[in-house]
A and B are shown apart, each in its own frame.
Chain A
Amino acid sequence: MTYLLGILQTIGVHTLLGLSAYLLLLTGQLSLAQVGFFAIGAYVSGILTVIFSWNIFAALALGSLMAGFFAFLVGFPALRVKGLMLVVATISFSEIVRLFFFNLSWRVNVNGVEVGPDSTQGFREIRYFAANGWEQIHIVGLIWFVVMVVMLALWWLDQVRAGAVLRAVGTDELAAQSSGINLTMVKVAAMTGGGVIAGIGGGLFAHSTTYVDHHTFVILLATFAVSYPIIGGLRSVIGTLLAVIFIQGFIIEGLRFMGDYRNLIFGLLIILVMNMRPQGLLDGHLVADIRKLLAKLTKGGKADA
């Protein structure tokens, strides 16, 4: 049971990472900055609960807002560039964040124990959940509650004009601009939203694993973050969730028996999937077909707008 809950925990947190990248990919931006926002959320909320004894919800909220704030700041310079340059800019940001926390030492004596981030030793003892009587199932519940809320919010976005505008920017920037859309505002908004989502993911991650260090927040994690929406397909949020389950659940855990060969298979699998379905698992046609099927099954009315 603990094992299963552990997997659910991982899948939940990774889904938040993936959703954060998804929002940006809608606007056509491939961002590897999500792991940076993730780290900010993790450290900020961790410091708040550990050093300042904040309540977990307040800490998570402020952590994600801080991540969002930095996303907003990064957004402006980063969004003046596109494509490869954006990839590099966002990699740089994430590395700056990682190295910053690598060097951060903020040790405080709380109730006789030395706690706080300890530069190269990492940030241990993020024990809010244990100290307040949360059991693993409660933690998993919280994580998935947040995941559901975020997924619902992103799904809802597609039902209103904002979602169409985001996708329009991702499809054709010139046409979007000529239709009156302020590209910078849209992209920065998406970046900020993505930052908030990654931030709360980071906070949940830090508290559920009780220990983070700079090894966690490497660019590799950022590539995972973008791989979920790319492999899952950008037509629907569910694609990202499916991709996380597929990758984390089946491949990484399921291939455990293959031991060290897991990552080899993983790499090959990605190459294979991308060659066979470059639009992702859940591409436009599949989603349209599923929608039609659902409509028939529920005999629903005409689409609202």
Chain B
Amino acid sequence: MNFDHIDIIQSLIDGVLFGSIYALIGLGFTLIFGAMHKLNLAYAASSIAGAYSGLMSLTIFGLPPLMAFIIGPIMSGVIGLILYFACFRFMPRGNHLAPLMASIGALFFIDELIIHETSGSPMSFPAILPDAYFFLGEFGIRGDLLLVMGFSFILMAIVMLLLYRTKLGLGTRATSQQPIAALLCGIPIHRTNSATFILAGVLGGFAGCLLAASVGVLSPLLTLPLTVKGLIVTVIGGLGSIRGAIVAGFAVGAAESIFLLVRGVNERDIYVFLLLFLFLVLRPNGLFGTTINRD
């Protein structure tokens, strides 16, 4: 295994660029967890499902490839809303296991549905700027990944704007901290939570489309790894921390890339998980998590 510092830096660059996708997924998980303190395990799957819908709408309606990037997120938003009603809306507030289990059921369902509709074979996804490749000194930067990263930043900025400068965002934050008090203040928590799910869904849909565009294909095999990576990012970033999810996304992307370089594809994930374990032991609150003990 010969690699020098150029390989390492190149690897880092690729990793960070790719990490923006993880950041988006982590952000989505964080939004939902932050709002309801419950986990939606079907989230990554619904993002991929949205990307699939976007892709298939191209053939069904004969649309130009760019539309996949618009229809996909919209569909993911819709799926997110459906998930809210199916798995979270009617559950007793204190019960954390039941909605989690229901979201696992939804994960099975969505996965199977994808496999059904596509007969299990991967479908190629339109790439963005497939031939763009820049050189910065000795390092090559994939143009499409750069675009992905740029786009991700825009999305993150929009989310932050929504959360911190709009009434909806205020309602979301209030509901997450004190749902009953928020209700008493006249904040429509179910509408707020629905909006959060839709927002997270749209975000995830973009992530799914961007991911598919970066690797060139969409496959049902993407859902589980994306779920796991998204969860890792959420935890490393610190539960409920938006900033944390974003930073952690890039960090995990970079780490993954380095591990790939150093240990190869078979062992890469082992080290990512070990990294997570290390975090949990040394910094259980993640990078930016708060240490408020709710008890």
Contacts and interface: CB of A to CB of B under 8 A. Distances in A.
Q: Do chains A and B touch in the complex (CB under 8 A)?
A: yes
B104 A174 contact: no
Interface string A202-229: 0000000000000000111001001100
A268 B105 contact: yes
A173 interface: yes
A271 B106 contact: yes
A303 interface: no
Nearest to A220: B224
Which of B113, B228, B274 is the most central at the interface, judged by chain A CB atoms within 10 Å of its CB? B228
Contacts of A81: 280, 284
Contacts of B106: 267, 271
B270 A99 contact: yes
Contacts of A77: 277, 280-281
B116 A264 contact: yes
Interface stretch (B57-65, B141-149, B211-219, B232-240): B232-240
Interface in B71-120: 86-87, 90-92, 95-102, 104-113, 116
Contacts of A93: 273, 277
Contacts of B95: 278-279
B104 A270 contact: yes
B281 A96 contact: no
Contacts of A275: 86-87, 90-91, 98, 102
Interface stretch (A46-54, A83-91, A142-150): A83-91
A236 interface: no
B16 interface: no
B191 to A, nearest CB: 20
Contacts of B276: 88-89, 92
Which of A218, A219, A223 is the most central at the interface, judged by chain B CB atoms within 10 Å of its CB? A223
Q: Which secondary structure dominates chain A's binding surface?
A: helix
A163 to B, nearest CB: 19
Contacts of B105: 266-271, 274
A264 B95 CA distance: 25
A106 interface: no
Contacts, number: 131
Q: How large is the interface on B (under 10, 10 to 19, 20 to 34, 35 or more residues)?
A: 35 or more
B7 interface: no
A81 B33 CA distance: 16
Interface in B138-156: none
Which of B101, B109, B116 is the most central at the interface, judged by chain A CB atoms within 10 Å of its CB? B101
Contacts of B90: 275
Interface in A264-300: 264, 266-271, 274-275, 278-279
B39 interface: yes
Interface residues of A, number: 45
Which of B39, B86, B96, B280 is the most central at the interface, judged by chain A CB atoms within 10 Å of its CB? B280
B104 A263 contact: no
Contacts of B109: 263-264, 266-268, 271
Given A264-B112, A274-B99, A89 B280 contact: yes
B137 to A, nearest CB: 35
B245 interface: no
B231 interface: yes
A274 B106 CA distance: 11
B235 A88 contact: yes
Nearest to B103: A271
Contact of A230 (B98, B232, B284): B98
Contacts of B273: 92-93, 95-96, 99
Interface in A72-112: 77-78, 80-81, 83-85, 87-89, 91-93, 95-96, 99-100, 102-103
B104 to A, nearest CB: 5
A231 interface: yes
A260 interface: yes
A244 interface: no
Contacts of A269: 105
A253 B72 CA distance: 35
A297 B276 CA distance: 54
Contacts of A99: 266-267, 269-270, 273
27 contacts: A80-B281, A84-B235, A88-B231, A88-B235, A92-B232, A95-B228, A220-B224, A223-B104, A223-B107, A227-B104, A230-B97, A231-B101, A263-B109, A264-B112, A267-B106, A267-B107, A270-B102, A271-B109, A274-B98, A274-B105, A275-B90, A275-B91, A278-B91, A278-B92, A278-B95, A279-B95, A279-B98
Given A88-B234, A266-B109, A269-B105, 13 more contacts: A78-B280, A85-B280, A87-B231, A88-B232, A92-B277, A99-B273, A103-B267, A218-B224, A264-B113, A266-B105, A267-B106, A267-B107, A271-B109
Interface of B: 33, 39, 86-87, 90-92, 95-102, 104-113, 116, 224, 228, 231-232, 234-235, 239, 266-267, 269-270, 273-274, 276-277, 280-281, 284, 295
4 closest cross-chain pairs (CB), A and B? A270-B105, A267-B109, A267-B108, A278-B98
